[in-house]
Structures are given as structure tokens and as C-alpha cells.
């Protein structure tokens, strides 16, 4: 899981020489993935969970990529190819689909002294091509770093403008490489964007050091990993190293522990290839969804993929937020028959503003206001003509504003059979 992809120098190749995975049609209406090698690499990039609006559960989304032994994406997988285990308990998958929602991405480009010459030229060309490959709704920010960290493009969908600004980037003679500070700041930038897919792409040809060889960053790799995996700022960090001076183990660890991938090129001649493979990886992610009955707090999700004779598992920690304040009808039971004067009671669930009162309404008209728990009242349904009624329970705060989530129950007064809740 989370293996790196290394490019070695090649000669007399074309882009077609790097297509290692394809789809074969076997008949019967189903496409079967074909592996170039008998191994796969599964990466869980991140996991999001939001409280369900219909019951006491969470809708959880896991963003996952699957690559074959050469690093090429494996497409065409279905629900039966995945297994999910949440906190040691297998859960039922509700959906597997292509993760096609827009991505918010920060591109970090090393402009230290060692990048002068062919290095910065190749990096700019590859980075510009990568921006071209982004989807129309994808938002990109571009940041350069050496001793200083400079945002040259804030988040934008104007990819042409981003490419124009990249073309003006240049390396600074004698400058150091504060790469961990740059990565930390980039993750912080992603926390300002709406929820959804996020990523940080870090390109460097060196290690974290000043021109004199001292550490350059105030932040450590562990600081970056911690903030990149936190609930409010989670962002996979994709690391890209070029040349013999990079610390490949450190860059790989940073990527693996944040849900990204590590790409390596021995020289500037292959940067286009690794940026192209990064683009393929981002465009080939799976969205895997399930309903979680777990409570708020920290949890662990293990995703296993089995394809033919290949299998791999990756695990990612995630946080489920507190439930918002909600009211739940406790009496009468769903579907029960009632007649005459009947107790109606609601219970509170979740967290939020303190309840000052609960209004009970029938067809929009308030029949009772309850200011203390238990929140209950008695309603004489014999006063209502036959037909459908709607009962609302509305929580109010001290200022009289509605708080939490209103709930409704249906009732059908019936003169000869009692009243039935539905």
C-alpha cells in the first residue's frame, strides 16, 4: 500500500510506451480489469463523514485509488472488488463510483539554487502541462519555495492564468530549500477551501536545508503529517523528487502517511512522465461510500481490494463530527393506532444550542409549547375531522429562533378506527 513510483531513464520511447494497464472485454456485458503485473497498490487518500439527515448515522465517503505493479491506474472496479472494515467491523458498501467532483490542489515548486538551469525549465514545463490536464472545475493554487514561501497564484479555475504565472517562475541562486514549511503552509491553504477533494503536490530536487547546510524549516515532517491528517485540514500530500540529492525515504514517508503517493525521477528528462502519472492518479480515484453507525470521534477504516490473484489493503484514520441537535419522536410508536387524547413526546439527540422550548404544531398551528424536559404534550385527536394531519416538533432557543432540525409525524384521524400514525 502506498508504494512509490520510480521512473528510470529511457530512450526511444513515446507516451504509448508507458501505458501498462488496459481493459479487456470478455463478453457477457462486463468489463474486466487486466493487470500488467500480479500485484496492486491501494491508497486511501482520505475519509469524510457527515451526519445523515434521515436517521442517526453517518454518510461516509472514502476516496481511494488502485494502481497495478507499474503504477498505472486500475479502472473498472465494482462494489464486489472492495471490502471495508470500520474499527475492526466489516461494513456494507452502498456505492462505488468514479470520484469526479472537483479537486482543490496546491502545487509547490522548488525554486532553490540547485534548481537553476535545466531543472527549473523542465519543472515549469511539466507543471504547466499538469495544470492543463486539470478538469474545468478544479481549483489550483501555485506556491514557490526556497528560503521564502510565495503564493504566486491563489485558488483559481483560470488555468491559463496559472500557466502564465508558472512560466515566470525562476530559481534563486544560493537559496535554500524550506520544503517542510512550504508543505505545512500548503496544507493550511487547503483548509480554507470548501469540503471535497483536496491535495498538495510537492516538487523538489533537494532536502530541507539552507545554503549553508543547516535545517531550513521550523516545521518537521511529523508536523506536516499531523496537520495533513487532522480532521479539519486533512489533505493528501503527493511528493515528487528529482535527482540524487533528494531524501526518497523521507518524501515517501510524507506521502504514505498523509494518503498521497511518492513519484521519483532521476533527472529532469522524465518530469513530464511523473507529472502525467500524477494526473492519471488524481483522475482515476474511486469514491467508496457506506453508512456508519459509529459515534462521533476518531475511527479507522481499512479498504481491501481483490482483483483476480492480487490483493492489497490500506488503512486511514478519520474523524466523525458531533451530530447536530435533533428531535426524535418517542411516542406514539411509528405506525401505531391512536384515539382520543394521546401523549406525544419527543427526545433530543446530538449537540448544539440549549433548547428553551419545543413547539408542537398540527398542520402548522401551534397546539402546545413545552419549556422543560421531558418534551411532551397530550393531543385530543377526536377534535380533528377525518383526513391527514401533520404534526411538527420545533426546538427554539432563548432568542426564539429555531435550532436543530425540525421533525414531522403524520396522523390520520378516523372516526371508526382510531387514529393511525404513519
Same domain flag for 200 and 218? yes
Which pLDDT score, from 0 to 100, does residue 6 have?
57
Q: What is the pLDDT of residue 236?
A: 96
Write down the residue that cell numbers 472537483 correspond to: 102
User: Are 140 and 124 part of one and the same domain?
Assistant: yes
DSSP assignment of 317-368, as one string? EEEEPPPBPEEEEEESPTT-EE-SEEEEEEEEESB-SPP-EEEEEETTEEEE
Tell me, yes or no, whether 69 and 141 share the same domain: no
Angle at 371 (CA atoms; ends 370, 375), nearest 5 degrees? 55
Q: Clarify whether residues 166 and 238 are in a common domain.
A: yes
Residues 266 and 167 in one domain: yes
Q: pLDDT tens digits for the chain (422 residues)?
A: 665 665 544 433 333 333 333 333 333 344 455 555 569 999 999 999 999 877 889 999 999 999 998 889 999 999 999 999 999 999 999 999 999 999 999 999 999 999 999 999 999 999 999 999 999 999 999 999 999 999 999 999 999 999 999 999 999 999 999 999 999 999 999 988 876 799 999 999 999 999 999 999 999 999 999 999 987 778 999 999 999 999 999 999 999 999 999 999 999 999 999 999 999 999 999 999 999 999 999 999 999 999 988 999 999 999 999 888 888 888 877 667 667 888 999 988 887 778 999 999 888 899 999 999 999 999 888 887 766 678 888 999 888 888 865 555 555 555 554 444 43
Report pLDDT for 298.
Answer: 93
Residues 237 and 371 in one domain: no
**Whether residue 145 sits in one domain with residue 131:** yes
Number of domains in the chain: 3
pLDDT (0 to 100) of residue 303: 98
CB 89 within 8 A of CB 299: no
Q: Which residues pair with 209 in a beta bridge?
A: 177
Q: Say if residue 366 is in the same domain as residue 263.
A: no
Q: Give the per-residue pLDDT at 402.
A: 85
Q: Is the peptide bond before 46 cis (omega within 30 degrees of 0)?
A: no
- Domain that includes residue 316, residue range: 5-99+287-320
- In terms of domains, do 63 and 40 share one? yes
Using CA atoms, how far apart are residues 191 and 87, in angstroms rounded to an integer? 26
| pLDDT at residue 163 in the model | 98
**Entry pTM:** 0.79
Amino acid at each position: 500500500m502506498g508504494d512509490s513510483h520510480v521512473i528510470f531513464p529511457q530512450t526511444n520511447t513515446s507516451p504509448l510506451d508507458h501505458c501498462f494497464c488496459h481493459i479487456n472485454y470478455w463478453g457477457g456485458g462486463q468489463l474486466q480489469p487486466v493487470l500488467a503485473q500480479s500485484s496492486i497498490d491501494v491508497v486511501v487518500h482520505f475519509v469524510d463523514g457527515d451526519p445523515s439527515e434521515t436517521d442517526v448515522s453517518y454518510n461516509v465517503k472514502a476516496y481511494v485509488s488502485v494502481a497495478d505493479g507499474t503504477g498505472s491506474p486500475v479502472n473498472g472496479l465494482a462494489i464486489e472488488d472492495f471490502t471495508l472494515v470500520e474499527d475492526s467491523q466489516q461494513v456494507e458498501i452502498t456505492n462505488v463510483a468514479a470520484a469526479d467532483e472537483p479537486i482543490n490542489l496546491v502545487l509547490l515548486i522548488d525554486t532553490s539554487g540547485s534548481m537553476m538551469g535545466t531543472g527549473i525549465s523542465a519543472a515549469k514545463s511539466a507543471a504547466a502541462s499538469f495544470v492543463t490536464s486539470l478538469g474545468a472545475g478544479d481549483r489550483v493554487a501555485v506556491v514557490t519555495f526556497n528560503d521564502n514561501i510565495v503564493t504566486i497564484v491563489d485558488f483559481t479555475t483560470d488555468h491559463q492564468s496559472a500557466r502564465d504565472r508558472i512560466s515566470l517562475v525562476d530559481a534563486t541562486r544560493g537559496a535554500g530549500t524550506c520544503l517542510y514549511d512550504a508543505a505545512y503552509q500548503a496544507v493550511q491553504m487547503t483548509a480554507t477551501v470548501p469540503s471535497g477533494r483536496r491535495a498538495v503536490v510537492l516538487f523538489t530536487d533537494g532536502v530541507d536545508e539552507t545554503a549553508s547546510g543547516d535545517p531550513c524549516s521550523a516545521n518537521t515532517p511529523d508536523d506536516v503529517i499531523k496537520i495533513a491528517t487532522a480532521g479539519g485540514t486533512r489533505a493528501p500530500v503527493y511528493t515528487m523528487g528529482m535527482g540524487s540529492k533528494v531524501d526518497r525515504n523521507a518524501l515517501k514517508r510524507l506521502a504514505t502517511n498523509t494518503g498521497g503517493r511518492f513519484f521519483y525521477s532521476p533527472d529532469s528528462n522524465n518530469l513530464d512522465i511523473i507529472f502525467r502519472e500524477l494526473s492519471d492518479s488524481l483522475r482515476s480515484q474511486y469514491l467508496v461510500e457506506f453508512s456508519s453507525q459509529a459515534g462521533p470521534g476518531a475511527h479507522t477504516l481499512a479498504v481491501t481490494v481483490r482483483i483476480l490473484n492480487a490483493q492489497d489493503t490500506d488503512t486511514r484514520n478519520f474523524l466523525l463530527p458531533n451530530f447536530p441537535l435533533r428531535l426524535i419522536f418517542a411516542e406514539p410508536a411509528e405506525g401505531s393506532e391512536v384515539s382520543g387524547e394521546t401523549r406525544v413526546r419527543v427526545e433530543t439527540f446530538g449537540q448544539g444550542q440549549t433548547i428553551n422550548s419545543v413547539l408542537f404544531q398540527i398542520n402548522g398551528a401551534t397546539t402546545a409549547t413545552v419549556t422543560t424536559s421531558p418534551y411532551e404534550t397530550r393531543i385530543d385527536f377526536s377534535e380533528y375531522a377525518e383526513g391527514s394531519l401533520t404534526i411538527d416538533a420545533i426546538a427554539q432557543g432563548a432568542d426564539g429562533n429555531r435550532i436543530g432540525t425540525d421533525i414531522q409525524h403524520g396522523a390520520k384521524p378516523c372516526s371508526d378506527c382510531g387514529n393511525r400514525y404513519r
